[in-house]
Every structure is written in structure tokens, then in C-alpha cells.
Amino acid sequence: MPRILIAIVLAAGVTLGLFYLMQALIKSGDQALSEPSKGSVLDFVRVKKDEVTEQKQRKPRKPPKPEQPPPDMPQPEMDLASSDPLSSGYDFAADVAADVSLEGGLALESGDGEYLPIVKVSPVYPRRALSRGIEGYVIVEFTVTKQGSVSNPTVIEAEPAGIFEQAAVDAALKFKYKPRVINGEAAEVAGVQNRISFQIDG
């Protein structure tokens, strides 16, 4: 029983002490907020020295002159080469100077409006003839259309027969012409003949 009384008294004392301490802290906090802080404040201002910047004018240097002029680039040739993979190492030429029209005479006349060849494709050399070293020629006859293309190619003569005909017809179908113009309108030209030679060079 006396222990309980002692504990109650101590607890009451501690509680009162805490209340007192809290009251003191509250008062001191209000005073710290209301009163200005004592002391002096020094302001430091840094003054920069006058700086003089020197500007240098730089002139661009002239590029040095080349010692040697660049070489002239070769102009690409307009003639198309053969696309046969077996024809590497060989030059195959199609004779394109024999365009002859049975109706209108020579195709390469100097008269205005006459049809002119623009693209002549070299024929694909047949594998059998290439492997055996056979050479020859084919004369093909066809019609130059109003659009400048070739239609209805037929074989007139072939030497040797049965070897180069199909390759010559395929090449002729890829020829392109400037069509003949009569009275301001394009016209077909029938009976044009072309000799296509098959030769192995090299």
C-alpha cells in the first residue's frame, strides 16, 4: 500500500515537471520569433576589374592550287553489252550498219523525218556455238513501229543455219528507233533488214 502511494506521488511530480518544461519551451519559442536576432550583417560586393578583350580578325586562307588537274572522266558508252554469263572474256559485235528498208531505200538517209536507230543491243551468244567456237551471221527483217520499237522480226538468211536465229530475233526485239515522220505524224516502216554478226574476239 505505501508503495502505491509513493508511485502516485512520483508520477504526479514527473507530470507536473513535464508540464512546466513544456510551458517554458513555448514561451522561449514565442520570444525567439518575436524578437529580431541580434548581430550585424555584412554585405560583400565583388567589383570586377575592367576587362579588355582583344579581337583578332582571321582571314580565311585560300586553298592551295592543285599540282595537277584532275583527269577527265571517260563518258559512258550508250551501247548495251551482252548479258550472257558465259561471254566473259569475249567481245561480241552486232553489225548495225545494214538497216535497209525495202520500201523506202536506205534507212540512214540525210532526209528529214527518216527513221534512225537509237539503241542496238548485242545478241546473246548461244552456249553451244560458244563452246564449239562457231561464228556466223543472221539477216533479220522486221517492221519499225510508230513508237520506234521492232515488231514481227523474221529470219531472212542465217549462216550457219539452226544456231544463231533465235539469239538474233531476241536481240532485234530490243532495238529502238526514232520513227519515220511524214507530214508531222509518225509512220511505220516495214521491210527493214539488219545483219547481226556473231564473232568471237579474244
Q: How confident is the model over 173-190, as pLDDT tens digits?
A: 999 999 999 988 999 999
The dihedral of CA 138, 144, 145, 148: what is its sign? Answer: positive
End-to-end CA distance of the chain: 135
Q: Residue 179 domain-assigned?
A: yes
* Structural domain count of the chain: 1
The dihedral of CA 137, 143, 145, 151: what is its sign? Answer: negative
| Predicted TM-score (pTM) above 0.75 | no
Q: Residue 54 domain-assigned?
A: no
Q: Residue 154 domain-assigned?
A: yes
What is the pLDDT, as a whole number, of residue 193?
Answer: 94
Task: Kindly report the average pLDDT of the chain as a whole number.
Answer: 74
Radius of gyration of the chain (CA): 53
Mean pLDDT of 109-114: 57
Which residue is it, cell 572522266? 73
The answer to whether 197 and 95 have CB atoms below 8 angstroms apart is yes
Domain residues for 149? 85-198
**Three-point CA angle 35, 40, 46, nearest 5°:** 135
